[in-house]
Structure 1
């Protein structure tokens, strides 16, 4: 039985709104999802992280091979970006904090976790909390882990400022219900970044070219849109095809539509 204190009609409307976004507008769709849920739980900021599991040293690694490969903040700013990159660098070196380790231990299952479930009491006095939370005006967080396949997942964090109260159980239930039933949306988001489905992440320019390809624009039109030569755009297109393991626009579109690749 659904919690009567949750605005389920708003959540269902949100799902309908997400389905109306075209494939070329996935970044905008992501912002819409994050901003809507933030409004529902009075969160001041949200992070979207694409993570992949690497094979090397998986069993000896404190994160079991998982590493972040993309990050976007709902309300981006230079200080947040710099601080998040510092946190990512520690993960790359195999020096994550306890909250990251505990989250990685649960990878492979949909999960919604309060910050105090991931942390130990002493962690709130640590460098990690002072730098990556209080240093960014974050008092409390709700973290969501969404598996896409065995080696890729999306992690979403919603954050409240130091001036706010901590999140409640109701806030957690809202987040759980709003984010649980839209796996199709997360798959498209992963495709848009090349995380977990491409051989390597797309560059910012490749992402722009991909959006134009998905709108059906010709390479000459894409070149005009981006102020580049047709030859340069053709090189971008070839790299996009190679990263996705396809050889044509039809095959690329089939990936987005979840259809078998054409012969």
Structure 2
């Protein structure tokens, strides 16, 4: 397990503004240790009581609010989650909610499922023979899910390694959720807000952020204001304090 411990040390060395790069490093390192064709991350949140959900909601009020992948989706699981179907594979992530867990297609689903139309459409026709997932509850309403997609059945050793690697880094799961506005924010960040947030955490000025993202200065400022509002802070220092997991004095906006 020394390789995993070194990987944890590497992740800790990434700056808070390099969340996507750190996620890619983690995904790449674990993919190299098994016959993994792609790795995905999903931030899942529970709908509040005031938010509408159908009475027959197969996802039990849970929704995927943000995703990140090492390579373009193979398959595109976000499409399944956006419009979930009543299939046994959709029930697996909902077992033991609120607890750290690992689940694998070949372990959890009957052989007949791998001959079903659902499997062929979403996985088999895309070359996916197996997948293993790790779910990490960050709090009662937010979970961090990693998926590892393989072109052949996964071996127990690979599953155990992946599970161990993701079990010991709660701080990293929390940082991923924060980076996408899924932990402290009032609503998920848009893709542009996510990019602006990462640059804000580097200390870049609004002028520099606008130039780097190809945005007008006024548009960039609007994004910054929206980000502060979503996170309930009034300054860059307040935003940074969330990643440091400590309170910060709220002053006027520092732009």
Unaligned runs of 5+ in 2: 251-255
Matched with 2:16 is: 23
> Contact 2:64/2:78 (CA < 8 Å) preserved in 1?
no
Q: Distance in 1 between matches of 2:125 and 2:116?
A: 12
Q: TM-score, length-normalised on structure 2?
A: 0.90
Could you say which residue in structure 2 is the equivalent of 1:120? Answer: 110
Q: Which moved more, 1:16-25 or 1:192-201?
A: 192-201
**Quick check: 2:134–2:147 contact (8 Å CA) kept in 1?**
yes
Partner residue, 1:90: 83
Residues in 2 aligned to 1:242 and 1:160: alpha-carbon distance in whole angstroms? 40
Is 1:54–2:44 an aligned residue pair? no
Give the superposition deviation at 1:112. 1.2
- Quote the Cα distance in structure 2 between the aligned partners of 1:225 and 1:160: 36
More off after superposition, 207-216 vs 14-23: 207-216
Structure 2 residue 241 is the aligned partner of structure 1 residue 254: yes
- The answer to whether the Cα contact below 8 Å between 1:51 and 1:152 also exists between their aligned partners in 2 is yes
- Partners of 1:256 and 1:181 lie apart in 2 by 18
Q: Which runs of 5+ in 1 are unaligned?
A: 1-7
**TM-score normalized by structure 1?**
0.87
Question: Contact 1:103–1:118 at 8 Å: present in 2 too?
Answer: no
Instruction: Identify the range of structure 1 (36-45 vs 59-68) with the bigger mean alpha-carbon deviation.
Output: 59-68
Q: State the partner residue of 2:253.
A: none
Q: Is the 8 A contact 1:50 1:152 kept in 2?
A: yes
* Offset of residue 238 of structure 1: 0.4
User: CA 1:197–1:137 in 2, change beyond 3 Å: closer, same or farther?
Assistant: farther
Show CA shifts across 1:70-107 (max 9, x none). 22221115xx47x434312322xxx3421121221222
Residue 229 of structure 1 is aligned with which of 216, 237, 242? 216
Confirm or deny: 8 A CA contact 2:196 2:224 kept in the other structure: yes
Q: 2:6 maps to what in 1?
A: 13
Residue 182 (structure 1) aligned with residue 169 (structure 2)? yes
Secondary structure in structure 1 of the residue aligned to 2:148: strand
Q: 1:73 aligned to 2:56?
A: no
What SS is found at the alignment partner of 1:48? strand
In 2 relative to 1, CA 96–69 (structure 1 residues): closer, same or farther, beyond 3 Å?
farther
Higher mean C-alpha deviation, range 138-147 or range 216-225: 216-225
Partner deviation per Cα, 1:35-78 (whole Å, 9 max, x = no partner): 1011112312111111111134598533221111122221115x
Q: 1, 25, 33: which one pairs with 2:26?
A: 33
- Matched pairs, number: 247
Please tell me whether the aligned partners of residues 58 and 64 of structure 1 are also in contact (alpha carbons under 8 angstroms): no
User: 2:174–2:183: 8 Å Cα contact kept in structure 1?
Assistant: no
CA RMSD of aligned residues (A): 1.9
Q: Please state if 1:64 is matched with 2:64.
A: no
Q: What aligned pairs does 1:94-243 form with structure 2 within 5 A after superposition? A: 95-161=85-151, 164=152, 166-243=153-230
Cα deviation 1:213-250 (Å, max 9, x = unaligned): 10111112222222222221110100001111111111
Check conservation: 1:52, 1:153, Cα contact below 8 A: yes
